[in-house]
Each structure stands twice: as C-alpha cells, then as structure tokens.
Amino acid sequence: MGFFSQVMDLGIHHAGDDFIEQQNYRASNVASVALGLAAFPFITASFISIPETAIYPGITLLLCIISLFLNKNGANKAGRFVLSISGIIGGTGYQFGLLEEGDPLLVSIFVVCVSLLTMPWVFIRLSEKTELFFSNLVCIGLVLLQLFGTERFDAASDGGVTDLFRTGGMYYGSFIIAIIFISLSAFCIRWVNEQVVSQNVKLVTGMEETNRELQGNSSKLEEYIDQLEEKRKEDERRKWQSDGITALSGVIRPGVLLEEVQDELISMLVRYLEANQGALYTVSDAKENEESHINISACYAYDRKKFVNKRIEIGEGLVGQVCLEKEPVFMTEIPQGYFMITSGLGEALPTSLVIIPLIHNEEVEGVLEIASFKVMDEHERDFLEEAGKLIGAFIASNRVASKTQVLLDETRVQTQRLREQEEELRQNMEEMTATQEQWSRRKEELEEEVFNLKKENKDFKNQLATV
C-alpha cells in the first residue's frame, strides 16, 4: 500500500495547491500502472507464441513508464498525452503484427483499441485543446487504419495463433480487457469527480467554518469599532473639557478682578455649554453684626423679577442649600414657579438645572447655576464641577487680594498719617529749638544787663564812699 501510494503521488508536489492538477497527476499515474499491468498478458502470450510481436505490447508498457517519468518531473500535460495514445499505439501494432496480408481483422484486439478511444477524453482537459485534438487524431486514425488498412505487417505466425485471438482464450480475454479499460475509464472519471465533489464539500465546509469565523471576527470587529468609536467620543469629550477649561482660564486670568470679568465669565459658560440661562453667586464675608449670605454677582438671560431680592440666606432655596451642603445638584424635574426660560416666542420651564458650589480649601466661595432646555451629559457636568473649582479658587484669590488691598490701603493711610505727624513734630521741634535759642540769647542779654547794673551799682557805691 505504501509503494502504491508513492506511485500515485509521483510528481504531485509540482501541482502545488491546485487540487484539480493534483487529481490529474494521481489519475494519470494510476492509469499508467493499470495500462502497464494490462500489457503483461499480451507480452506473455507473444513470447510464448510469436516472440517478435512482443515488442508491440512492450511499446505500450514503455510509454506508460515514460508517462510516469514525465509526471515525476512535473511534465504532467505531456505525460497525460503520452498515456492517452500509448495503449492504442501498442494495440494497433499488435493487430498488424499478428495478421498476414488478406486476413480478416482481429475483432478482439480491435475492441480493445476501440475501448482505448476514451483515454484522451479521460486524461486530457477540455481546455487543453491542442493536446486533446492531436491525441484524438492519433487514436481515431489508428483505429480507422485497422478498419481500412489493406496492407498488413507480415508476421511469422501460424493459424493457431490467430485462432487464439479469434476464438481462443485471448479472444475472450481481449473482450474482458476491453471491458476492464472501459470500466477503468469510467472509474477514473467517477473517481476524479468524487474527489472533486469531496474537495468541494471540504471547501464548502471550510467556507462555512470560515464564514462562522468571519462572523465571529465581524462581531469582534464591530465590538472593536464600537470601542474605537467610544474612545474617539471619549477623546472628543476630554478635548472639549480641556478646551473649555482653557477658555475659562483665559477669562479668569491672574491679575483681574471678579467685578471686571464676572459677566464675561457666566456668558462664556452658558454659551460653551449651549445652555439657555446662567447665574453666578458669591458668598459675602461675615461682619460683626451680620452673618454671611449669598449675593448674585452676574447673570445671563435671566428674568429680572428673579433678582428683585438679590440677597439669599445660606440654606434658603436650592442655591442656599447647595451652599450649605457643599454638594452639587443636578435636576431634570424643575419645581413649578422656580423660574422660567423666556424667549421671543414665550416662556417655559427648563429641562435640566445644574447648581454647583464653588469650593476652595473646603470653603464655599460662591454658587454657579446653569439652566438648559437639553439634559446635560455626564462630561458636561464633570466640566462644570472642574470649572467650579477654578472659579472658587479665583473668587478666593480675589477675596484675598481685596482684603490685601484693603490692608494695603489702611497701611498707606496710616503711613501717610505717621508722615504728617512726623512732619508736624519736626516743625514743633524746630519751633522749640528756635524758642530755646531765643531764650538763650535773652538770658545772656539779661545776665549782661545784670552784670552792668551790678558794676554801675558798685561804682556808685565807690563814689559815695569817696565823697
């Protein structure tokens, strides 16, 4: 079985992955072996009866070997051509080798040759038109030559030999061989077809498996595409948040006061969020006789009636509650009468409301309120919370800067007062110094006058004593 398999697969590696070409190699190899084996009875009979005629079936055997050799070396097309004409060449030569001139045709050998007319159609493709034409031309020409040929090859045979092929065992054997060849041709055709069908079934099965794999891969691909799309959307959301924070940072830049940019700040946030209304509240500092409360600093598209009372106590209403609890509020069901969004076509309740505490160092610096007709997405709420931290830090910074400025102003006033007092003191000192100098001069004058008086008095006394 191993040797037969090796013979069947002679030269098959030259076919590569071409399944049909592989079957051509196998079919021609099998047929070459079968035809060569079929030539042995004729060779044996010829050696026994007429050794000279053994060359004709020997030619068939030789051509079968040549076909196998060509297949082994990758020339399968040439090998199949040689195979398709090998049997009929040997049969025709055998026919003329056995007959003497004037003898009638040996029907048994002729039948074998006629059965071999199927060989070109079995082993040569319809697409190989040249090989098919010449192989049929050779085969049909040799059969017709047997039918109508008038000259016979002279063979040293006696009547017994020809009788052997007319009525003897070789007569019936030839018919059996013809039937075998026809059956073999049909078998080869059937075998090749079944191999093709089997391969097609495998291909269909493989295609179904591949299709299932492709469907699985398609699902994975769709999942991967969904992941990429989600990642792209996430990247867009992050970029949107980053751009918003950048724009906000450009508004609340260092060195500016809240009063200067508060209107621009709330306007920028409302427009960036594509909302409809917004308000910015700040928490006032506690005073000696007054607690902290909430004041509205700026608003965007709000009804003025909402801000008749601009002061909100901490814990009062939604804004005051957010300030008290330090937790944001996201609402999609707005209480009736809270406020309305007004446009030229009328007014209506907003669809969503976001109130964010503006916290810095765990202290609430203010509250941000945004209302919209559309429900805000999570990334928009996250953006507002992040913006709230920046605004809280900005308000705290402004508060510190304001207190610092007040302290600086007070220090400046006190410094100015000290300078004025110092100047006044200096002037007083100068006046005192001048007064002291004046008194010193007056004292010297008085002392001099006293000295002069004393001297005059002494002189006067001396004069009196003399008298």
pLDDT, tens digit (0-9, with 9 covering 90-100), for 393-451: 888 888 887 778 778 888 888 888 888 888 888 888 888 888 888 888 878 878 787 77
317: CATH: 3.30.450.40
Min mean pLDDT across 83-87, 187-191, 197-201, 360-364 is at 187-191
Residue 153 has pLDDT above 70, yes or no: no
CA dist 86 and 79 (Å) reads 10
Quote the number of domains for the chain.
Answer: 2
pLDDT for the residue 86: 83
Mean pLDDT computed over every residue of the chain: 77
Domain C-terminal end among 381, 409, 437:
409
**Can you tell me the mean pLDDT for 10-14?**
80
Mean pLDDT for 149-172 is: 47
**Residue 81 covered by a domain:** yes
- Reported as a pLDDT band with limits 50, 70 and 90, residue 308 is very low
- When pLDDT is cut at 50, 70 and 90, the band that residue 305 belongs to is very low
Closest among 252, 451, 235 to 368, alpha carbons compared: 252
* Backbone torsions φ then ψ of 278, nearest 5 degrees: -165, 155
Mean pLDDT of 72-88: 84
Domain that holds residue 299: 258-409
The predicted structure's pLDDT at residue 403: 78
pLDDT band at 158 (very low <50, low <70, confident <90, very high): very low
Domain membership flag for residue 121: yes
Higher pLDDT, 139 or 304: 139
Residues 26 and 172 grouped into a single domain: yes
Q: Three-class SS string for the chain?
A: CHHHHHHHCCCHHHHCCCHHHHHHHHHHHHHHHHHHHHHHHHHHHHHHHCHHHHHHHHHHHHHHHHHHHHHHCCCHHHHHHHHHHHHHHHHHHHHHHHCCCCCCCCHHHHHHHHHHHHHHHHHCCCCCHHHHHHHHHHHHHHHHHHHHCCCCCCCCCCHHHHHHHHCCHHHHHHHHHHHHHHHHHHHHHHHHHHHHHHHHHHHHHHHHHHHHHHHHHHHHHHHHHHHHHHHHHHHHHHHHHHHHHHHHHHHCCCCCCHHHHHHHHHHHHHHHCCCCEEEEEEECCCECCECCEEEEEEEECCCHHHHCCCEEECCCHHHHHHHHHCCCEEECCCCCCCCCEEECCEEECCCEEEEEEEEECCEEEEEEEEEECCCCCHHHHHHHHHHHHHHHHHHHHHHHHHHHHHHHHHHHHHHHHHHHHHHHHHHHHHHHHHHHHHHHHHHHHHHHHHHHHHHHHHHHHHHHHHC
Tell me: the pLDDT tens digits for 341-366? Answer: 665 555 777 888 889 999 888 888 89
Out of 43-57, 73-87, 99-113, 264-278, give the one with best mean pLDDT: 264-278
Do residue 126 and residue 204 come from a single domain?
yes
Point out the least confidently predicted range of 186-190, 208-212, 229-233, 296-300. 186-190
As a whole number of angstroms, the distance between CA 11 and CA 23 comes to: 11
> How many CB atoms sit inside 10 A of residue 27's CB?
21
pLDDT for residue 134 is more than 80? yes
pLDDT band at residue 173 under the 50/70/90 scheme:
low
> Average pLDDT of 299-309?
60
294 and 161 belong to one structural domain? no
**269 and 383 share a domain?**
yes
Q: Does 263 fall in a domain?
A: yes
Q: Specify if 295 maps to a domain.
A: yes
* Residue 137, in any domain of the structure: yes
152 vs 341, higher pLDDT: 341
Q: Does residue 425 lie within any of the structural domains?
A: no
Residue 134 lies in a domain: yes
Predicted local distance difference test score (pLDDT) of residue 346: 58
Summarize the confidence of residues 164-177 as an average pLDDT: 50
Higher pLDDT, 3 or 114: 114
Domain end, chosen from 214, 232, 247, is at 214
Q: What percent of the chain has pLDDT over 70?
A: 80
Which range, of 56-60, 99-103, 104-108, 110-114, averages the lowest pLDDT? 99-103
Q: What is the mean pLDDT of residues 5-18?
A: 77
Overall average pLDDT of the 255-262 stretch: 84
Question: Looking at the structure, do residues 294 and 207 belong to the same domain, yes or no?
Answer: no
Given 161, 179, 214, the domain boundary residue is 214
Same domain, 74 and 191: yes
- Residue 201 sits in the same domain as residue 324: no
Whether residue 168 is found in the same domain as residue 303 = no
59 in the same domain as 195:
yes
197 and 297 assigned to the same domain: no
* Same domain flag for 25 and 154: yes
Confidence of residue 12 (pLDDT cuts 50, 70, 90): confident
Axis-axis angle for helices 159-166, 19-49 (nearest 10):
140
pLDDT band at 376 (very low <50, low <70, confident <90, very high): confident
Please indicate, yes or no, whether residues 74 and 12 belong to a single structural domain of this protein: yes
Decide if 462 is inside a domain.
Answer: no
Q: Across residues 52-73, what is the average pLDDT?
A: 85
